[in-house]
Structure 1
Amino acid sequence: MGAIPADVDAEQGPPTAVPLAHFLAALGFLLAGTAVLVAGPAGRSGHLAAVHLLLAGWVCVTIMGAMTQFVPVWSGVGLHSRRLAVWQLWLAAPGFAGLAASFLTGRLALAPVAGGVAAVGVWLFAYNLGRTLAAVDEPGVTERHFAGALACFVAVALLGPVLAADLTRGVLPVAGVGHVGVLRAHATLAVFGAVLATVAGALYQLATMFTQTELGPIERRFRDAETVAYPVGVGLLALGRLLSTAALSRAGGVLVAASIAGLGLVVANRLRTTRVEPNPMLVRYGVVAAFAVTWAATALVGWWGEPLGTLYGHPTAGAPLLAGLVGFVVAGTLYHVVPFLVWVREYSDLLGLEDVPLIDDLYDGRLARVELALVLGGGALLAADGSTAVAASLPWAGRAGGALLAAGALLFATNLALVVVRHGEFSTTDLLGVGG
């Protein structure tokens, strides 16, 4: 894949309503997950519900829609099945929602059923995109990252229902592997395999495409090394946690952290050399670069000392930094992808015949700036609230941070939803995959 593909054929992808339906569903998960995170029940049930709504519902459903649209377009091959692209959402979204509901209500018997439905949807997605990637003659760095991510999606969807069944029927341990080991492997493959491998592969494409730049010689050498080191690191990290082997996890953690740090530096350097005017997408990619490098530095410290128990890097800073990294990648990308899809459908045929808006004109830039400030401010207050000293001196920090974060998420979702409402002419049957 080149930095700015000259042979992109939008007809290779599915109808624009299919990925847009994924994105709108994902925005609903974002709002629900934020509400549970801020105002939901404390303890394990609220945590599990929020994680599945935000990570599986918002992030993974967004990835499913984005990969379904852009893998065929970037790679120049036809999508294997448009019908499977519709069914994957019909199954995965209700399954993820059912999982969250089972945790929130305490009806754990629902979890294996909902998890099974979600797993089938994820497997359909992985099969559909796997068959699509198999048609690529010369896979590039992005395709190789995506292939690794799809393998992790399959594994995560296999381990999830096992964990759900163990909650109600006690099916573990098996072959000496218990619930904790499977849970750690499940979380590792989900976050660092399915999600971050997709993010890494996409950023090599997007960071060059949207900054109108090319990777330099050193960046290309790093990219070639990272393409091997990162999946090996994820595999060692997950296997070590599954088997409770600290040495394997530590080695994998070092490779993962070093890869993410290097990727953050690549993105920062692409932004440094660009001549493109700042926009919400590039601003958020700048935040991503800072989060990536900071997370990696703290993760190396945390994982070197405790590679098994600290799932997301540093025991204190790891989860917030990682959430920021992933969240801002998704948000920044959606600020381009949603308006782009609507613009292609509604305005591309009118180009040269009448005045048409630019892609960046479809959303409200002022709302985007306010939303960014709210999310950064709310996130900072929530992170500070995790400190015992801050929580004691500023007992309102957690509540205020949650309120700001929720307001920012609402503005973000509203801004993108209004793009579809104001500029798109999509029927309900279109978005359900029944229409054209």
Structure 2
Amino acid sequence: MSVVPGEVDTARQPPMTVPLRHFVVGTGFLLAGVVAGAVAAVGGTSGLGTLAHVHLLLAGWVCLTIMGAMTQFVPVWSGAALHSERLATAQLWLVSGGLAGFATSLFTATLASAPVFAAAMLVGFWTFVYNVGRTLLPQAPYDVTERHFGVALGFFLLVTLLGFLLAVDFVRPAFAGLPVTRADVVSAHVTLAVFGAVTTTVLGALYQLATMFTQTSLHGVDVPLRRVEEAGYPAGVALLAVGRLVDSVLLARVGAVLLVAALAAFTVILARRLLETQVDWTPMLSRYAVATAGFAAWAALALPAWVADPLAPAALFGAPGTVHLFVVGAVGFVVLGTLYHVVPFIVWVHRYSDLLGYEAVPMIDDLYSDRVAAADLGCFVAGTALLVAADLLGLPAAVAAAGGVLVLAGSALFVANLLSVIRTHSPASVAGILLGRSVDSSETRPDESAEPSD
């Protein structure tokens, strides 16, 4: 693998601290969410605690990672300067502060404050949408990744608006007199969040990452499959969400079939990229392989369940008992694999890229520990397998608890490995990234008057 892929314009990236700050805070929510899930698996939390667990992982870890990744790679891939670094910092603290307060209000059942914290998250997410949207807007005509990101930004606007209304409904009826119920809005909210905002972003990023870091390109059957995914996936999400909102089985069923078919088409594309890879296997690709299997298994189970009844509460995430399969086994492993490249990539560019030719520098994949990466992968795979088995087979709570402990161990190893990259190689410390000023690569450049080494 090349040190820095030639397709990216690293001169366009924001200061290092901007995306890394999102990733560091996001990993904190990962640990908090996994702990909450492990406690929930043994019955240690209420129903609201389980809701907090879901938000810590999805709105916290996954969405903050998406926000940091878009802030980093939209300028890099699109060749445009980020609209505002200040807004990128503001979005992080609004979302993370709002989420921390919202989760606390759920855990403690002090729901009077929930709308306030939900409002902070709403403003933070809309700030993110505005900032990235303003960066993307002048870049037409858009490529496949940019088109997915644009659609995902629209989903972020909708899902956060519904989320705010649901938080208000905790303390004051928000849907009284309307033709929709709270349960209808929850179903639409989940659909737009998990399958809309999150998964649309994941698919768009993988079109770039899976080709770039396997050194392959779409060809043959990939091209019509991509057209199926691009047309069918957003339409499927929209129809499924609207069908669930208005209790229309027909709309929801058509949307569900489109969504599953489109995601299955993309899964074939991703599998072909991994099979045709021209580079050595890395932690990024290993986790993408697990995600590919997760997407395929989820689609096979979801299609008959959603055709039968896409409005059933048990089928909210697909077939009954597949929430961990999709959220952790598919989306989660994509996020894990991406972070295993993105964090070292950002640190490497700012610390070492300008030293090439002046002194020996490490490769990107040399910045983290291979042994720790292998250990966390084993924990994540084993833990996810136990959680999925417990969900699908109705196994005792002890099995789910064991799975949660393994995922927690994998999370701790994963976070430690990435933080070691920052601690050992970054021009800024972890504390400096969280609280300090922006750092860019110009601060680590060698003396330009020096003679390059041979």
TM-score band w.r.t. shorter chain:
over 0.9
Of 264, 272, 286 in structure 2, the residue corresponding to residue 283 of structure 1 is: 286
Q: Distance in 1 between matches of 2:7 and 2:399?
A: 51
- Residue of structure 2 equivalent to 1:347: 352
Relative distance call for 1:389 and 1:291 in structure 2 (3 A) is closer
How do 1:264-275 and structure 2 match up within 5 A?
264-275=267-278
| SS of 1:109 mapped into structure 2 | helix
Q: Distance in 1 between matches of 2:410 and 2:75?
A: 33
Cα distance, 1:381 vs. partner?
Answer: 1.6
Do the aligned residues in 1 keep the contact of 2:71 with 2:132 (CA within 8 Å)?
A: yes
Q: CA deviation digits over 1:91-130, x for unaligned, max 9?
A: 0111111111111011111210110001100000000111
Relative distance call for 1:329 and 1:174 in structure 2 (3 A) is farther
Do the aligned residues in 2 keep the contact of 1:84 with 1:128 (CA within 8 Å)?
A: yes
Q: Distance in 1 between matches of 2:123 and 2:11?
A: 27
Cα distance, 1:54 vs. partner?
Answer: 0.1
Cα distance, 1:320 vs. partner?
Answer: 2.4
Which letter maps to 1:113? V
How do 1:49-60 and structure 2 match up within 5 A?
49-60=52-63
2:367 counterpart of 1:362: yes
| SS of 2:125 mapped into structure 1 | helix
Cα distance, 1:5 vs. partner?
Answer: 7.4
Q: CA deviation digits over 1:134-176, x for unaligned, max 9?
A: 1103101111110010001011111111000101111213531
Do the aligned residues in 2 keep the contact of 1:5 with 1:74 (CA within 8 Å)?
A: no
- Residue of structure 2 equivalent to 1:299: 302
Cα distance, 1:180 vs. partner?
Answer: 0.8
Which letter maps to 1:217? G
Cα distance, 1:431 vs. partner?
Answer: 3.4
Q: Distance in 2 between matches of 1:283 and 1:98?
A: 35
Q: Distance in 1 between matches of 2:405 and 2:298?
A: 25
Of 174, 180, 201 in structure 2, the residue corresponding to residue 198 of structure 1 is: 201
Q: Distance in 2 between matches of 1:320 and 1:47?
A: 17
2:161 counterpart of 1:158: yes
Of 305, 311, 321 in structure 1, the residue corresponding to residue 316 of structure 2 is: 311
- Residue of structure 1 equivalent to 2:101: 98
Of 421, 424, 428 in structure 2, the residue corresponding to residue 422 of structure 1 is: 424
- Residue of structure 2 equivalent to 1:27: 27
Which letter maps to 1:15? P
Q: Distance in 2 between matches of 1:195 and 1:321?
A: 12
Q: CA deviation digits over 1:331-361, x for unaligned, max 9?
A: 0000000000000111111111111111001
Q: Distance in 1 between matches of 2:236 and 2:295?
A: 16
2:180 counterpart of 1:146: no
- Residue of structure 1 equivalent to 2:449: none
Q: CA deviation digits over 1:298-344, x for unaligned, max 9?
A: 11011111201211100123542343111000000000000000001
Q: Distance in 2 between matches of 1:67 and 1:207?
A: 16
Which letter maps to 1:29? F
How do 1:114-133 and structure 2 match up within 5 A?
114-133=117-136
Q: Distance in 1 between matches of 2:225 and 2:404?
A: 38
Q: Distance in 1 between matches of 2:74 and 2:95?
A: 20
| SS of 2:221 mapped into structure 1 | helix
Cα distance, 1:387 vs. partner?
Answer: 5.1
Q: Distance in 2 between matches of 1:373 and 1:401?
A: 12
Do the aligned residues in 1 keep the contact of 2:322 with 2:392 (CA within 8 Å)?
A: no
Do the aligned residues in 2 keep the contact of 1:241 with 1:308 (CA within 8 Å)?
A: yes
Which letter maps to 1:222? L
| SS of 2:176 mapped into structure 1 | coil
Relative distance call for 1:150 and 1:387 in structure 2 (3 A) is closer
Cα RMSD after superposing both structures: 1.6
Which letter maps to 1:397? V
Do the aligned residues in 2 keep the contact of 1:18 with 1:433 (CA within 8 Å)?
A: no
Q: What is the TM-score of this pair, normalised by structure 1?
A: 0.95
Q: Distance in 2 between matches of 1:276 and 1:6?
A: 15
Which letter maps to 2:35? A
2:83 counterpart of 1:80: yes
Q: What is the TM-score of this pair, normalised by structure 2?
A: 0.92
| SS of 1:366 mapped into structure 2 | helix
Q: Distance in 2 between matches of 1:387 and 1:201?
A: 29
Q: Distance in 2 between matches of 1:431 and 1:200?
A: 29
Do the aligned residues in 1 keep the contact of 2:175 with 2:182 (CA within 8 Å)?
A: yes
- Residue of structure 2 equivalent to 1:372: 377
Which letter maps to 2:273? R
How do 1:319-330 and structure 2 match up within 5 A?
319-330=324-335
Of 400, 420, 431 in structure 2, the residue corresponding to residue 398 of structure 1 is: 400
- Residue of structure 1 equivalent to 2:451: none
Paired residues, number: 430
| SS of 2:320 mapped into structure 1 | coil
Which letter maps to 2:351? E
Do the aligned residues in 2 keep the contact of 1:156 with 1:190 (CA within 8 Å)?
A: yes
Q: Distance in 2 between matches of 1:387 and 1:315?
A: 7
2:212 counterpart of 1:209: yes
Q: Distance in 2 between matches of 1:257 and 1:331?
A: 23
Structure 2 residue runs without a partner (length 5+):
440-454
| SS of 1:408 mapped into structure 2 | helix
Do the aligned residues in 2 keep the contact of 1:298 with 1:318 (CA within 8 Å)?
A: no
Q: Distance in 1 between matches of 2:232 and 2:113?
A: 39
Which letter maps to 2:425? H
- Residue of structure 1 equivalent to 2:447: none
Cα distance, 1:246 vs. partner?
Answer: 1.1
Q: CA deviation digits over 1:238-272, x for unaligned, max 9?
A: 00011111111111011111111111111111111
Cα distance, 1:217 vs. partner?
Answer: 2.6
Cα distance, 1:225 vs. partner?
Answer: 2.6
Which letter maps to 1:24? V
- Residue of structure 1 equivalent to 2:16: 16
Cα distance, 1:401 vs. partner?
Answer: 1.6
Q: CA deviation digits over 1:41-73, x for unaligned, max 9?
A: 334112101000000000000000000110111
- Residue of structure 2 equivalent to 1:184: 187
Which letter maps to 2:419? A
Runs of 4+ off more than 6 Å: none
